[in-house]
Amino acid sequence: MINLETPRKQRALIDQAHQLAMNMLRPISRKYDRAEHEYPKELDMLAALIDGVSETGATGGAGASGGRQGGAKAAEKKEPRDPDAVRNGANLASVLSIAEMCWGDTALLLSMPRQGLGNAAIAAVASEEQLARYEGTWAAMAITEPGTGSDSANITTTATKDGDEYVLNGEKIFVTSGQRADSVVVWATLDKSLGRAAIKSFLVRRDNPGMKVERLEHKLGIRASDTAVITFTDCRVPAEDLLGSPEVNTKAGFGGAMATFDNTRPLVAAMAVGCARASLDLTRDLLERAGITIDYDRPAQVQSAAAAKFLQLEADWEGAKLLMMQAAWMADNRKPNSLEASMAKAKAGRVGSDVTLSCVQLCGTLGYSETELLEKWSRDSKILDIFEGTQQIQQLIVARRVLGLSSAELK
């Protein structure tokens, strides 16, 4: 049975993440928002600390990578477990700790060394041999193209087999950590005529000939995180760096690639939950300083308009958090979570934008000025409703799952 209270064994990890967010990320948040594209050197020490905590094995995963290192399968190898037993494992630990870190700063979390979104793709589809070989790599993920948007099944970057190598050609945009990461997980098609089933993931290293970072984007939010445009021109990749099986199974369709999103969408939901929580906490303090009390023992309709709005925002936030935890818990317990991952991402993305913008409005001039971080959080949160599949794409996926319809039947 699922229990959506914070697991007792993970409270120490969550408390550590909160302390890191409060004492290390929050103080440098504004500095790196203004210094766009400048690497936050303070993160090197933080990454080393997270690595040390993870290596002890006491936490079940720390930071942004905990849910990407094999999750329940890895734990199962160490000790067989009762199939009816309930596990609170690396996925749940990761989303809870990520939410705390994003309470400090979302962009800095995305900039953390060795915590790239490409690591989720590696964990989702790589073979056991590849998992061991890529251990410790910092992998960005390159999916989006100029003409594809959220339709990742329409990828045009090609991968052509040539002896013991694949030759990649194409362009990728909005690659998070595209300049800083050690490697990039690139989605490309082996054969356009076979549709989405032929899309595979390749690990391309920084020194692979033919890969070039063309430019870094200037963005509305998450400005501390570098976002790159990368081109691949006759880029040669060893065949052993195709993640998972090279076989094209038209019956299996897009399943292998979509498993990546089942890993990453709860993580993005966690980012939105953490950013929104930061806005709510600060807004409550600012309202109380202005003499507006939030009374949890009285109905919202008999309180001030500001208090009633705040209570509504908190209720929405709580729903997003619970959906995020459900998706992660299902992954830990080896339950298919594609529907729940999309529900969590859709709810948290929308709620994150609504909460942060509403908090700006509730706090008036303090919310809109750079005196506080509220305006920054409203800018940062918007991307969390866009990347890893927009709000509209998530709703479409949920509708297909609920109605039992294919992508061809419901577009």
Q: How many CB atoms lie within 10 A of CB 203?
A: 25
158 bridge partner residues: 169, 189
What is the topology classification, in CATH, of domain 255-403?
Answer: Butyryl-CoA Dehydrogenase, subunit A; domain 3 (1.20.140)
Is 139-241 a CATH 2.40.110.10 domain? Answer: yes
**What is the distance between the alpha carbons of residues 132 and 201, in angstroms, rounded to a whole number?**
17
**What is the distance between the alpha carbons of residues 183 and 203, in angstroms, rounded to a whole number?**
7
Active-site residues: which are they?
Answer: 388
**Residue 371 three-state SS:** coil
**Contact between residue 37 and residue 111 where contact means Cβ atoms under 8 Å apart:** no
**What is the distance between the alpha carbons of residues 30 and 372, in angstroms, rounded to a whole number?**
9
According to the model, what pLDDT value does residue 67 have?
40
What letter does residue 220 receive in the DSSP assignment? Answer: S
Q: What are the contacts of 237-241 at 24+ separation with CB within 8 A?
A: 237/159, 237/165, 237/166, 237/167, 237/168, 237/202, 237/203, 237/204, 237/208, 238/164, 238/165, 238/166, 239/161, 239/164, 239/165, 239/166, 240/130, 241/202, 241/203, 241/204, 241/205
Question: Could you tell me the residue ranges of all domains in the chain?
Answer: 8-133, 139-241, 255-403
Tens-digit pLDDT profile for the chain (411 aa)?
A: 677 788 888 899 899 999 999 999 999 999 999 999 999 999 998 887 776 655 544 444 333 343 433 333 444 444 455 656 778 888 999 999 999 999 999 999 999 988 888 998 898 889 999 999 999 899 999 999 998 877 777 899 999 999 999 999 999 999 999 999 999 999 999 998 888 889 999 999 999 999 999 999 999 999 999 999 999 999 999 999 999 889 887 666 566 667 788 889 999 999 999 999 999 999 999 999 999 999 999 999 999 999 999 999 999 999 999 999 999 999 999 899 999 999 999 999 999 999 999 999 999 999 999 999 999 999 999 999 999 889 999 999 999 999 999 888 998
Can you give the pTM of this predicted structure? 0.91
**Contact between residue 136 and residue 116 where contact means Cβ atoms under 8 Å apart:** no
Handedness of CA 125, 128, 133, 134 (dihedral sign): positive
Report the DSSP pairing between strands 183-189 and 139-142. Answer: parallel
**CA 307 to chain centroid:** 31
End-to-end Cα spacing for the chain: 35
Q: Please state which CATH number belongs to domain 8-133.
A: 1.10.540
Q: Look at residues 148, 112, 135 and name the one whose alpha carbon lies nearest to residue 32.
A: 112
What letter does residue 319 receive in the DSSP assignment? Answer: H
**Contact between residue 390 and residue 150 where contact means Cβ atoms under 8 Å apart:** yes
Tens of pLDDT along 92-104?
A: 999 999 999 999 9
According to the model, what pLDDT value does residue 309 have?
98
According to the model, what pLDDT value does residue 58 have?
45
Tens of pLDDT along 6-38?
A: 888 889 989 999 999 999 999 999 999 999 999
